[in-house]
Amino acid sequence: MTWDWQVFLLDTGGGRTYLEWLMSAWGWTLSVGLSALVVALLVGTLMGILRTVPNKALAMLGECWTELFRNIPLLVQLFLWYHVLPSIFLSLREIPSFVLVVFALGFFTSARISEQIKAGIRSLPTGQRYAGLAMGLTLPQTYRYVLMPMAFRVVIPPLTSEAMNIIKNSSVAFAVSIAELTMFAMQAQEETSRGIEVYLAVTGLYFISAFAINRIMLFIEERVRVPGAAGGGK
């Protein structure tokens, strides 16, 4: 068996090389993953907070959201966003596939982040909430200035895993024709018959992407660590 890495210098027939196509696909993968991560963090944080507030209606809303999106497979959710919802809400037909994928992946991951935020808040001493309220802060202010800064420090390690997973889970976007890495690999392998080289290159880019996020999150964890606090080390 001989490897031929020059396959990436061949013309695809569309005026660009397979290497250029690979880099474009990598860009789409990062765009989908990072955009979905923003959605997941915003929505997941909100739902995690709602699950810990004393208002039963808001807590139930957070619980229902989390249970709904974490108990349906990601690929099924993606097909619901792409095929089912646009048939019900016709205005969604005008929305690009990229946006639908971002919301599908973001909402799916938000349920997992919601669970981690809830656990992070519950891990803090209950006296912190009461102290904030006793100082005259409203409940939203208590969460913003007292609870959430410490809770985020506690949950950075599991959030790191979710940030890495969302890049890898972005591979489902191939199912709705987003030109990301997995779709590139499938099409390039069929056109060149060099599956080993193609899939090794794609695997390497997925690894680089996830590893870079891991290092960034580790840097953030070190920067925000509070000595002597929960999860803060010595």
Average pLDDT, rounded, for the chain: 91
Answer whether 110's CB lies under 8 Å from 40's CB. Answer: yes
Confidence of residue 227 (pLDDT cuts 50, 70, 90): low
Residues paired with 11 in a beta bridge: 17
Average pLDDT of the segment spanning 177-205:
92
Residues ≥6 apart with Cβ < 8 Å to 178: 28, 32, 97, 98, 101
How far apart (Å, rounded) are the C-alpha atoms in residues 50 and 61?
7
Tokens of 172: 């489902």
Residues ≥6 apart with Cβ < 8 Å to 112: 40, 44, 70, 162
pLDDT of 234: 42
Q: How far is CA 73 from the centre of its chain?
A: 15
pLDDT of 233: 46
Confidence of residue 229 (pLDDT cuts 50, 70, 90): low
pLDDT of 14: 82
Beta strands in 105-177 (DSSP E): none
66-111 pLDDT per residue, tens:
999 999 999 999 999 999 999 999 888 899 989 999 999 999 999 9
Nearest to 150 by CA among 126, 130, 120, 127: 120
Residue 180, SS3 per DSSP: coil
Angle between helices 97-122 and 148-169 (to 10 degrees): 140
Residue 123 has pLDDT above 50, yes or no: yes
Q: If you ran DSSP here, which 8-state letter would residue 17 be given? A: B
134-153 pLDDT per residue, tens:
999 999 999 999 999 999 99
Q: Categorise residue 68: left if φ over 0, alpha if ψ from -120 to 50, beta otherwise.
A: alpha
Q: If you ran DSSP here, which 8-state letter would residue 139 be given? A: H
pTM of the model: 0.91
